[in-house]
Structure 1
């Protein structure tokens, strides 16, 4: 990716993952929570005959719908963010006054980053942006955007199975509920560990925190009749 982050990366061997660790883990957790909530809802209202199938297909249908919605919103967020970068680049390039261009770049920076980059560095960036003749006119989708959206959809949908599959495999619904919740908490612990390692925290502590969040959600569902 070039300095402005606007152009496609040419060297496919060095390309970064389409979805980073946070994206992957958070989408997986989102799918788990959604499936767990809908399984609890069906249990709360009394599933009756064919309870196992009803719970499985309810959770799967829920996550198919939310996976699609989340994938579409990922595309929207991606295009808006890219459009903002394109607009910023054109604003900097068209600004004849260097000081104003530098201030435009500084205003677009995150607050925590501003004290770390001085005007000399920003002038170097401004000069490179101003010298470019190949800036895109507007933001457009690229192939990786759709790959990322498909990845999000699949993560949300796949998260259904650890929660809902026990209801297809076990005839006894209360037992299936216990197995489902244990599997969910185990996956949340693993997800928390992954996020913890990525953020520089102790993995097991982050795992326990995420698992505790899952337990609290499960307790809330049970309290509501799940």
Structure 2
């Protein structure tokens, strides 16, 4: 794929992952680890049980981190293939109006409201001016780095929640500390999402922490 084609295909993304991708993957891994922590029984858990907890939580996040990374690559190559299909369809269109309709149909419902006919024609002109079009969608080095980033984020989010059990002998205190760390991470993640989306960072932070509290309460109610 040529440099110009990569840019037009949307390959030139923000480095590795966008803020919402990073926060979302971190929160996903955090919720997964939190369900394991909720299953720890203060009265019955010994050091061997804690070791098993750590192994189980890490193994689960390793598996889901791998699944998320692979699905990211599948989604990326699928989106890129959709773009190539659009390019070929526009180039093969019978006339300019048909090409503009194809482009408009590929826009989101919201985006289509803000794009005028002249802008659609400008996009069509850029598509026609492409020096070369790849025969098939390809994964680039940046895509593989992004997938690796997703995997590492999901796995790394396990450690802050499970680490208190590895360092503190008192299981009850370790469980309380683990939950406090998890809620703090949820709050920080919510603040980051709120700031990125423009919804009010503190409000979203408290909402995310509240969601985590509800999850912990549900786990306890179910016997965790």
Query: Which category of TM-score, normalised to the shorter sequence, fits these structures?
Result: over 0.9
Query: Where in structure 2 are the equivalents of 1:172-191 lying within 5 Å?
Result: 172-191=170-189
Over residues 96-116 of structure 1, what are the superposed CA-to-partner deviations in whole Å (9 max), with x where a residue is unaligned? Answer: 311110000000000001111
Give the distance between the partners of 2:99 and 2:85, measured in 1 at CA: 13
Over residues 27-63 of structure 1, what are the superposed CA-to-partner deviations in whole Å (9 max), with x where a residue is unaligned? Answer: 000000001112323549x645512212111111111
Q: Specify which of 204, 214, 217 is matched with residue 216 of structure 1.
A: 214
Residue 68 (structure 1) aligns with: 66
Give the distance between the partners of 2:130 and 2:198, measured in 1 at CA: 37
Q: Specify which of 165, 168, 171 is matched with residue 167 of structure 1.
A: 165
Aligned length: 220
Give the distance between the partners of 1:200 and 1:2, measured in 2 at CA: 32
- Alpha-carbon distance change, 214 to 48 in structure 1, aligned in 2, over 3 angstroms: same
Give the distance between the partners of 2:63 and 2:50, measured in 1 at CA: 20
CA deviation after TM superposition for structure 1 residue 162, in Å: 1.1
Give the distance between the partners of 1:61 and 1:221, measured in 2 at CA: 20
Q: Specify which of 30, 34, 37 is matched with residue 35 of structure 2.
A: 37
Give the distance between the partners of 2:139 and 2:173, measured in 1 at CA: 47
TM-score (norm 2): 0.92
TM-score (norm 1): 0.91
Gapped regions of structure 1 (runs ≥ 5): 10-14
Q: Specify which of 40, 50, 53 is matched with residue 51 of structure 2.
A: 53
Give the distance between the partners of 2:193 and 2:47, measured in 1 at CA: 40
Residue 97 (structure 2) aligns with: 99
CA deviation after TM superposition for structure 1 residue 17, in Å: 1.7
**Secondary structure, aligned partner of 1:38:** helix
